[in-house]
Amino acid sequence: MLKASCRRYARTLGLACTTLVAAPGCKACGSSSPGVDVGSETPLVISAGSSTERAPQVHDLELLPIAVALRSGPRVWMWVDGRSSAVAHPTDRVSWSSRGFEFTVNNGLTKVLAPGGSFYYRVAAGDASPTQPVSTLFDGDSDPPPGWSVEYVDGAGGKRVQAFLLGPEGRRVRLGLFLSQPDDAVWITGALPSEGQASPPLPETVRFRAGADGALLNDVPLGGEPLEWKSVSQDKLQQWVAAVQPFHNGGADLTAGMHASADLDRDGELETLLCISGRIRMLDPRCVLVDEVGSETRMYAVGLPWTADGGAPVGFTVDGAPYVFMGSPMDPSIGFVLRYYSAGWIAETVE
C-alpha cells in the first residue's frame, strides 16, 4: 500500500518516486542524538536507504548537452538528456537556443526545457541568447551522436508507432506514441549549466523519523545538520509574487505564503523557495524555486505540497550538500526531499 501511494503522488506531482524502508525503532539513538526523544516508545525511523540497491535515475547519470526533436504533423516532441519523458507542443510556438527549447504555455508564461533536464518558467530574460524557430532545424533527418538512437516499434496493437530513445548507461526513454512514424527527427547540442554543485541521493545513514502513527516528523533527519535560511527582501518578494499571478484560478490575488532563501545549489548565490497562498490552477505549482542565473530569472515548479496550516519546508545539509524536506499534508506517512542534481531540481518521495 505504501508503494502504491508513492507512485500515486509521483504521478500527481510529477516527482521521482523512491521507496524507502521503515524500521521499528532506533536502538542506536540516545540522549546525545539531537531531536530524539528517548522513552518507553522509541519513534519509528524511516531510512533513506533501501535493502536493495537503488536503481540509477536518469538525472543522476553523467549528463550530456544532447537534445532531440521529433516532428509529427503540427506538433513537435522535445527531449533533453536528464529527462525521463518528452514534452510535446505546437511546432510553430517553439524556438531553440543554446539554453534549450522555449515556448509559451496556456498561462501566458514562457517555459524553457533546458539541456540537463531542467524545466522552468522564465520570469526575466535579461541578455537572452538568440533563438530560432524550431521548424528551421528540420531540414532532413540528422545523424545521432555515437551511442545514441531513436527506435520505432509498434504500439496500440499495431495501430500506432512508439518512439524510444536509446543511449549510454542504459538510457531508454519513451518519447511518444504516434499515428505513424514521425516526419522528421533532429539531434541538437545545447549547453549544460556551468555553475553549482549537485547534492547526491541521500545515503542510507540519513534517517527520517516518524511517530507511532507512521506520520513523518517535519524535522531535520538523523544524520543531517540544520540549514540556515535567509530572509527575502520585500522588493524581490513583491516581484516574484507578481510573477506567479498567472497561476491564479479566480478569487483574490495570490499572495506569498512560506518564503525563505539559501544557497541550495552551492553556486555562491541565494535561491528562494516561495510557496503561494490562494487558489491556483490545477496543473500549476503551489511552490516554486526562484533562481537568478546571470541576467535571467528562472522559476522552477518544485512540487512541494505546502499548505498554509501545514509544516514549513525543513532545510538541512549532509556533508555540506543542501536538501529541503517537506511532509505531505494529504498523507503524513509520505514526504518529499528536494535537491539540486547538477542541472536542475528533483523532489524525491520519502516514505
pLDDT of residue 126: 67
Question: Are the C-beta atoms of residues 260 and 240 closer than 8 Å to each other?
Answer: no
Residue type, 23: A
40: left (phi over 0), alpha (psi -120 to 50) or beta: alpha
Q: Per mean pLDDT, which of 22-26, 59-63, 99-103, 311-315 is the most reliable? A: 99-103
Dig out the grid coordinates for 125 from the structure. 530574460
What are the residue ranges spanned by the domains of the chain? 2-54+195-350, 64-119+129-189
Start-end of H helices in 117-267: 234-243
For residue 74, the tally of other CB atoms under 10 A from its CB is 9
In whole angstroms, give the CA distance from residue 345 to residue 119.
9
Q: Is 213 exposed, middle or buried (0-12, 13-18, 19+ CB in 10 A)?
A: exposed
H or E, element range at 184: strand 184-189
pLDDT band at 139 (very low <50, low <70, confident <90, very high): confident
Residue with cell 518564503: 259
Task: Express as a percent the part of the chain with pLDDT over 90.
Answer: 63
Give 290's Cβ-side CA count (13 Å radius).
22
Distance (Å, whole) CA 279 – CA 275: 12
Q: In this structure, what C-alpha cell is assigned to residue 139?
A: 531540414
| Interval 227-258: pLDDT, tens | 999 999 999 999 999 999 999 988 789 999 99
User: Which residues neighbour 79 within 8 Å (Cβ) at sequence distance 6 or greater?
Assistant: 67, 68, 69, 85, 86, 87, 165, 173, 175
The whole-angstrom distance between residue 289's C-alpha and the CA centroid of its chain comes to 10
Q: Is the pTM of this model over 0.85?
A: no
The tens digit of pLDDT for each residue in 140-183 reads 768 899 999 999 999 877 789 999 999 999 999 999 999 999 99
Say what the pLDDT of residue 14 is.
Answer: 41
Q: Are residues 248 and 241 in contact, defined by beta-carbon separation less than 8 angstroms?
A: no
CA distance 201 to 49: 9
User: In Å, what is the CA distance from 13 to each residue of 3, 255, 328, 349?
Assistant: 16, 21, 12, 10
List, for residues 20-50, the tens digit of each pLDDT value.
Answer: 433 333 433 332 222 222 233 334 444 444 3
Is residue 19 within 8 A of residue 2, CB to CB? The reply is yes
